Amino acid sequence: MNQQTRIEMLNSYLAEDPSDSFSRYALALELIKLSNLEEAMNHLIFINQNDPSYLPNYYHYGKLLEQSGRKSEALAIYQEGETVARIQKNAHTLNELTNAREALEDL
């Protein structure tokens, strides 16, 4: 399946259920691959505001903020994600978010 087909499929899923965080997240990742960063950011923001327990969102949201030169916002998102990861007892994601935050703090 090519990228455009995946994007169309994900958009159709969101048309049926706009609150589907998995489809919205997958769409944001596809848009990042196409360098459509503004639209991707809008989807990641939507997830963060409407489904803050959706843990996979935090890493890519933080990375996109970093790429946009928004260091303090990225740090805050990583810290929020670390809190969610602790609550969900997800050590792998906690480690990823902690490493991303610490690397950014060292810049």
Q: Residues 12-70: pLDDT tens digits?
A: 999 999 999 999 999 999 999 999 999 999 999 999 999 999 999 999 999 999 999 99
pTM: 0.93
In 3D, which of 49, 48, 44 has the Cα closest to residue 30? 44
Selected from 3.40.640.10, 1.25.40.10, 1.10.760.10, 1.10.10.10, the CATH number assigned to the domain covering 3-105 reads 1.25.40.10
Q: How far is CA 53 from CA 16, 34, 37, 83, 96, in A?
A: 21, 27, 23, 10, 16
Task: Please state the domain extents for the chain.
Answer: 3-105
pLDDT tens by residue, 75-99: 999 999 999 999 999 999 999 999 9
Question: ∠ CA(64), CA(67), CA(69), 5° rounding?
Answer: 115
